[in-house]
Structure formats: structure tokens, C-alpha cells
Structure 1
Amino acid sequence: MQEQKRIGILTSGGDCAGLNAAIRAVVCRAVGSYGWKVLGIRQATMGLMNSPPDFIPLEIDTVEELLITGGTFLGTTNTGDPFAYPMPDGSTRDRSSEIIAGYHQLGLDALIVIGGDGSMDIVRKIAQKGGMNLVAIPKTIDNDVGSTERSIGFDTAVNIATESLDRLHFTAASHNRVMILEVMGRDAGHIAISAGIAGGAHIILIPEIPYNLDSICEKIHERQESGKNYSLVIVSEAVKTENGETIKNINRLGQTRFGGIGHYLADKICACSGAETRVTVLGHIQRGGTPSPLDRLTGSVFGVAAVDLIAEGKYDCMVSWQNRQVVSVPIPEAIGKYSTVDPDGMLVKTARGLGICLGN
């Protein structure tokens, strides 16, 4: 029998559907199969930064009902770089050593981080600095983590965007309007291309494929001339203006966020086509709600696999879905690759084959 290990688990970065399913799977495997102790770290690395560390012991009974719940019951954060943590006086401080101290204070044998490429990069640097054993689980609704075909949260986001297009069909047809749906996608258009095909969009705009407004308006005119006086457009938030400018908003905290390309396009499309145009921005609706069956499955598979890596003594690795099975990939390799939509890939070919305008 293996010695009883103490492992920590935290969720870092933006929330998404399927995180709780992964936490549940980690606990069920670690406690139920190996007899280990599992500590849930609250509010990502901030929980380890606190003194004493902010955590809760996790048992199978604790997580039994988590499979179908959205978000992360441990809490998370996507602000505050531990190596340059913002202080109340406006200065920054390297607080990575406090996180390392929290890990060792809890007597952890390993830490599982569920996050995107940014979170994995930061936590890995801390782990390398402090002698922490680390295993990572990929999650991002953008599905842009390299070396894995699937990340937790993506499928639910696509389902929500697809359902939104389904609903917009009817109101667009009723009022002879062009309906624009702006979806998330920091640098990649996976949500837009997948939901656009599944939801019957007539125009799909993603950051990987440059567009021009003449092609968009030509598509709308073609539909108008054929008696179809409405059109559905889905656009990724990272799409730039026709002149190559990125539309971002800066909030009161000085944080920069994507947003606004939908309204920019609405004005341009209305001007060139004469069509009445409306915009729906999904925003964080894509992150929330009940996880899809596939995200529950993905979280469960990844959670069990992450615990098994610890049992095998394999650290500095990320679990990855490849060729219908889970494998482990070195974290540097996983975050060293960025997964964007292939302009020559199958989804783009499918969209073109269906007569969908991609803006070029």
C-alpha cells in the first residue's frame, strides 16, 4: 500500500462550467482509491498566500453533489500576479514565497492546479522556485490551451452560444433584422466557429481570419435578394476592426477587457446594407450555469487522471485529451503551444462548404 499523501487542489483564473466535476473526481479518486487526504485551497493561490492558509478538508461526502453545479465552490481569482502583487499603496510586491510557505505549512505532497495557460505558467514558476510537486488540469472556455484537444468549460460555452443563436433566429426573421452575437474568445475563435456552424449562423468572424466589410454586406445582400431578409452574425470578442484596431475597455481598476466589436460591426453593417441591426453580447453567461454532460465527463476524466499521475510520481505535467484518451504532457510543452483555429482546418472548410461567410 502507498503511504498516505496530502494533496492540495485549487482553481485559478476565470471560472467555467465543469470545475466542480473535476474537484469531485480528484477527491473520489484520492480518498476513495488511495486513502489520501485532500485539501481544497480557497481563492486560488491567495488561499496559500494567507497566514494561516485558507483551505477546507475535502471528503467524498463533501463533494458528492458537485457534479452538476457550475462555477467553482473553492472560489478563484484571475487578478494579482503573485510575483508582482498589487499592494494598497499602489506598489507591487513579490509574494510568491508566501505561497510556497503555505504549501509547506500544510504539509502537501503535491498540488493540483486547474487553470488556463496563464495560471499554469505562474503556478509552475512558483512550484519550481519552492520545490512544489505540481500537476495541472486544463480549463478554459476558449479551448486555446496547447497539447490538448479539449479543455474543461469549452463545451458548455459552445452550447450556450448555440442556444443563443437558436433563439435569435426567430426574432431576426420576425423583424427582418441582422442579429450579431458577440461571444468570448481572448485570442482564439473556437467558440465562434463551433457555435456558428452548430447554430446556423450566416456569417462567422474569428480573429484567425481577416475580414472586409464588403464581403459581409455582399452576403447580407445575397440573402436579401433571395427573399431572406434576416441574417445571423457571430463574432469573437478578439476580432479587430477592419483597420486592424483592437477594441478594448478599461475599467476603473485599470484592467483592460475585450468588448465592443459587435457594436462596431452593427454600425458598419447598418450603413452598408441598410439592414436594421441588433447586438447581443453574451459575456460571462458563457461561463456560468449547469455544465454540459461533456464537460462533466471531461472534468471527471481529468480529475482521476491527475490523481493517478501523483500516485505514479509524475509531476510538472498536465493531463491532456488526445486521440480519445488521456495522456500527460510536460507543462512547459502544454503552455508553450497556443491552440488557435486553423484557417485551413476542418471546421473552416466545413463552414465554407455550408456557404457560411467568414468575412473574406
Structure 2
Amino acid sequence: MRVGVLTGGGDCPGLNAVIRAVVRKGTQEYGYDFTGFRDGWRGPLEGVTVRLDIPAVRGILPRGGTILGSSRTNPLKQQDGARRVRENLAELGVDALIAIGGEDTLGVAGRLYEEYGIPCVGVPKTIDNDLSATDYTFGFDTAVNIATEAIDRLHTTAESHMRVLVCEVMGRHAGWIALHSGLAGGANVILIPEQRFDVDQVCAWVTSRFRASYAPIVVVAEGAMPRDGDVHLKDGTLDSFGHVRLSGIGEWLAKEIERRTGREARTTVLGHIQRGGTPSAFDRWLATRFGLHAIDCVRDGDWGAMVALRGTDIVRVPITEATARLKTVDPALYEEAGVFFG
């Protein structure tokens, strides 16, 4: 059997660990051959491949990014895209495809199997941790660690100048990174997409913090929205999955805080720093286990399945279940963090 592997969507730490585990176990235990597809779904859409064998995956476990490259290509938006994918797979002798990605990448895999009969297995990847049916996705832990370290560093400079520091982290529709890193880093205000915020309340928390002779740290997810406003867009363009580019809520909020409180405020936007660099130990562990179980799905012919973490067990769930809705922050969890605001 020949198995294709692709990594789609935004890069994140742990992708190479999945690729390594898939190839090592598939080659050593099942005698499979592997074809790596370049740049997400562009690879099978255009027939762009790279060599993928045991020598190719040596030494990649601690490396960030993906040796296969990635993109946000959506073959279902291309003319005859599904047919082209199917024909390229047949021409290359690829019998099954392992798609490693988030909601969009896996959504394509699910539809290619359900509607076009292309044998696909999914592996969940997103630093936002917003995929349903799995407790955690790899990449999330690394992103939280990076954001927490940044918040730790911001505390000292904020206190030195007694100014407000607003830290903008990733999180389009889900505030998991903001919530986890904000709590771990001792932020005084945490703002997430799931809960619209009142700017006056934020300013009250900031003022309260200054009364205690401490400089406030505000952590805000990029998709957070004021009660009387909307998301902040970098521009109005859409990617092939219909997503706009978010940016600017941190800068806007800092200006509002400064205008309303008279206190100096500055913004730090972590951006792609959160998903670059070497993966954490947890993400290496999780990604490796996902890869080992994904190739078992291929062996069993369990098409349309995605591997997922439940507690400490790796289970299989339908890709369609995992992509049916986003996993967002429970209001009760956010309420827990509220005791530290102000």
C-alpha cells in the first residue's frame, strides 16, 4: 500500500512529529510506502510530491513547522478539484491519504471521503484548540507556553514604567490561548471572542489595578469584540475557505484605555511567534501518538475517521463530528478567571 501525507492550514509545532510517527510505524510494521504532498491540498490537487521515507524523517521530531510545507488551498473551490485530486492520487499509486490539519483541512478530507469516495484519515492540528471531539490538539500547548512567557516578561516592563500593557494573542473564534496563558501569566484582564467585553469595565479593572500600585496586563484574543463594536480586520480579503484576516483589536483597545483613563498604554502582538519554533514536550508526545494511531486507521481501513485525545486515550471519531462545530470556551471556565480581573 502507498499512503499519502499532507499538512494543511497554518503551520504549528508538532506537525513533523506526526509525519515521523506515521512513516516510522507504517514502514517498519506494515511495510507501506509513503508519498509526501507539498503545501497542503495543493499537493494532491496539482500532483506536487516529495520523497517521504525513514531517512527523510530522521531528526525532525524537535523541528517546528512542517517539512511538507502548508497552504490554505481548498481543492473543492477549484474547477473539477475533487476529480483532479482523485486522478492524481490514482496516477501516483496512492491508495489512502492522511490529512493533518484543522477545521478547514479536515473538512475537505471529510467531504472527499463522504462525497467522492477518496480514502482519508484525519489528524487534528490547531494551536487554537478549537476542534470538537478531541480534548487537545497539538500545537496548543506550545502556543500557550510562548504566550505565557511573553506575559511574564511584560509584567516587569509594565511595572518599571507603570503603564498598561495589552498583549494580543491568536484566537479567531475561540479564546483558549488567551484564557490559558492569561491565567498562567497572571493577567489582570482576559478578553475572549466568546464573551463581548465592555470597554468601561476594562478601564475600571485597569484603574483598580493602578490603585493597588501595580501595572495591569490585559490579554486579548484577536477575535475578541467590544460590546458595541465588531472584530478588527487587517483587510477585507478572504482566503479560499472564506476567512478574513484579523488584526488590530489590541492596538485599538490600548488607545481606548489610554484615552479613557489617562494612563499610558502599549500593545504587544505575538502573532506568528506563537506557532513558530520547537514544539513543547507535551505537543511532541501528543503528535507522535496521533501519528501512530493514524497509520493504524489506515491499516484497518477506517476511512473518514479522525484520531482524537480523550483523557489519556487516543480514540477514533468521524471527521464530520470533529468539524461540525467549533469547541469554544465554556462560560463557567471564563467565570473562574474573573476573580483575578482588576
Question: Whole-Å Cα distance in 2 between the matches of residues 271 and 139 of structure 1?
Answer: 40
Deviation at 1:122, TM superposition (A): 1.6
Identical counterparts, % of pairs? 42
Asked whether the 8 Å contact 1:190–1:341 carries over to 2, the reply is yes
Question: Whole-Å Cα distance in 2 between the matches of residues 49 and 81 of structure 1?
Answer: 9
Name the structure 2 match of 1:120: 106
Question: Letter of the aligned partner of 2:76 in structure 1?
Answer: F
Name the structure 1 match of 2:298: 310
Pairs within 5 Å for 1:189-268: 189-228=175-214, 230-250=215-235, 256-268=244-256
Deviation at 1:356, TM superposition (A): 2.6
State the TM-score, normalizing by the size of structure 1.
0.90
Cα deviation per residue 1:153-196 (whole Å; 9 max; x = unaligned)?
A: 11111111111101111110111110000011110000000000
Question: Letter of the aligned partner of 2:23 in structure 1?
Answer: V
Asked whether the 8 Å contact 1:14–1:77 carries over to 2, the reply is yes
User: Which among 321, 330, 340 is matched to residue 318 of structure 2?
Assistant: 330
Name the structure 1 match of 2:76: 83
Q: 1:310 to 1:15 in 2, by over 3 A?
A: same
Deviation at 1:223, TM superposition (A): 1.6
Cα deviation per residue 1:37-68 (whole Å; 9 max; x = unaligned)?
A: 11111111211122xx2222322221010100
Deviation at 1:95, TM superposition (A): 2.2
Question: Letter of the aligned partner of 1:24 in structure 2?
Answer: R
Say whether 1:41 aligns with 2:26.
Answer: no
Alignment gaps of 5+ in structure 2: none
Question: Whole-Å Cα distance in 1 between the matches of residues 59 and 42 of structure 2?
Answer: 25
Question: Whole-Å Cα distance in 2 between the matches of residues 226 and 128 of structure 1?
Answer: 59
Name the structure 1 match of 2:55: 61
Question: Whole-Å Cα distance in 2 between the matches of residues 277 and 344 of structure 1?
Answer: 30
Question: Whole-Å Cα distance in 1 between the matches of residues 238 and 166 of structure 2?
Answer: 29
Question: Letter of the aligned partner of 1:17 in structure 2?
Answer: P
Question: Whole-Å Cα distance in 2 between the matches of residues 209 and 94 of structure 1?
Answer: 41
Asked whether the 8 Å contact 2:40–2:70 carries over to 1, the reply is yes
Asked whether the 8 Å contact 2:196–2:226 carries over to 1, the reply is no
Say whether 1:147 aligns with 2:133.
Answer: yes
May I ask how many residue pairs the two structures share in their alignment?
Answer: 339
Asked whether the 8 Å contact 2:171–2:223 carries over to 1, the reply is yes
Task: Provide the alpha-carbon RMSD of the alignment.
Answer: 1.6
Alignment gaps of 5+ in structure 1: 86-92
Name the structure 1 match of 2:19: 23
Asked whether the 8 Å contact 1:181–1:281 carries over to 2, the reply is yes
Question: Letter of the aligned partner of 1:54 in structure 2?
Answer: V
Question: Whole-Å Cα distance in 1 between the matches of residues 35 and 41 of structure 2?
Answer: 13
The alignment partner of 1:344 has SS state of helix
Deviation at 1:251, TM superposition (A): 6.5
Cα deviation per residue 1:97-116 (whole Å; 9 max; x = unaligned)?
A: 11111111122221100011
